[in-house]
Amino acid sequence: MGRGAPGFFRDRNDTFDVFLYAPREEKIGRRLVANDKNESDAALVEAVNCETSVSVKHYFGVDGPTRSTYDLMINIAIGEDNAISTILHAM
């Protein structure tokens, strides 16, 4: 659901919260390729991240991804198949 999911579901005990993150270079590269953009559009990635953080803070009162909020945090630089396998195994 995105960064706001732990705030949205905070009163439920039947959820498994996973935060996927990536090194800046990986994140920018993936988003640029996925949206058929070039390197000069990298600032847009930073702007979207900032806007998302502001929205999560506004609606849920949460600053950034707090480790204690999540059951699992995964660096997606390990690859999609490995990330999926890790999530399924952890559940």
Q: pLDDT tens for residues 52-63?
A: 778 778 877 777
**72 φ/ψ sector (left φ>0, alpha ψ -120 to 50, else beta):** beta
Tell me the whole-structure pTM to 2 decimals: 0.69
Domain boundaries, the chain: 17-90
Structure confidence at residue 90 (pLDDT): 95
Name the nearest CA neighbour of 19 among 5, 29, 9. Answer: 5
Q: Is residue 74 scored above 90 in pLDDT?
A: yes
**82 φ/ψ sector (left φ>0, alpha ψ -120 to 50, else beta):** alpha
